[in-house]
Amino acid sequence: MPPDRQGSAVAFVFLGWGIAAVAGTPLTAWMAQTLGWRAAFWLVAMAAAVQAAWVWRSLPPRLHTPTIDGPAWRAMIRHRTLPALVALTAIHSWAQFILFAYITPVLEQRTGAGTSLVAFALGLFGLCGIAGNVVAMRLIDRIGPRHATTLAIGCMFAGQVVIAVGGFATLFMLLGLSLWGLGCFSANSAQQARLLATAPALASVSVALNSSAIYLGQAAGAETGGWIIGTAGMEWLPRAALPVFVVALMLSQRAGRAHR
């Protein structure tokens, strides 16, 4: 892709990931309940085989990327900005999963949602995530991935504030999930584009590590949320996430200044 369209191209890839998550989660859940969990795994295996064949046919020949080796890892670790950006991904994922790891029991026990309302709330979150990613495709190349990242994290922070202030009331919960969803997928897209723009030669290493940072943050958030539920109760989940989001916003601004 030409340099002025690389950010939107990365966001487009994550748009596919978001659509797959929104469509795949209820599909595999239904299969597991009606046909058994083995059927869901067979579906994943067959889809992966089709995808592998599709990639093999679609990628142009002689497509080479920079080698991921020891010197590349050392160059990334010593870089002025890249480690902070990868840490930013882990931190905003950590902030999200303090609540999101337990979103279904929170909806059921604190909001009083039944099966239909839980499905609607999660579907709304996913649809807003797709919409936010579409907006990110237009914004990343226009305002830059740094500002797009800050805007996405700000949306997630606002969603947590609405949920915390609303006391898990249904209307506030749906509004908070909508704001949160707008920033969720788009933050990952903007972060990947930001890594690419910061050090193109090290993108193979930084983007790979950034994906690991997403899952590290999710694990930390789930662990934190479980501890909070056991010691203080579910109502403290969004309140505990707020300072972590603040740290993410501050780190995003600091990394931007260091890059400049």
Residues in the chain: 260
Please give the span between the terminal C-alpha atoms of the chain, in angstroms, as a whole number.
24
Inter-residue contact 151 to 139 (CB < 8 Å): yes
- What pLDDT digit, counting tens, does each position of 227-246 carry? 999 999 999 999 999 999 99
Alpha carbon separation from 5 to 1, 41, 55, 133 (Å, rounded): 6, 36, 22, 15
Entry pTM: 0.84
Look up residue 1 and give its DSSP letter: -
**Rounded-to-integer distance, Cα 70 and Cα 54, Å:** 31
Q: Which residue has the tokens 């337990």?
A: 102
Q: Interior CA angle at 85 toward 190 and 128, to 5°?
A: 30
Inter-residue contact 19 to 26 (CB < 8 Å): no
Amino acid identity of 77? I
Band of residue 28 on the pLDDT scale cut at 50, 70, 90: confident
- Reference 107, options 33, 41, 174; nearest CA is 174
- What pLDDT digit, counting tens, does each position of 197-214 carry? 888 888 889 988 998 999
Q: Which 3 state secondary structure label does DSSP give 169?
A: coil
**Rounded-to-integer distance, Cα 135 and Cα 142, Å:** 11
Structure tokens at 190: 């903007």
Fold of 3-259: Growth Hormone; Chain: A; (1.20.1250)
**Rounded-to-integer distance, Cα 160 and Cα 18, Å:** 21
- What pLDDT digit, counting tens, does each position of 125-181 carry? 988 988 998 888 888 888 888 899 999 999 999 999 999 999 899 999 999 999 999
CA–chain centroid gap for 147, Å, is 17
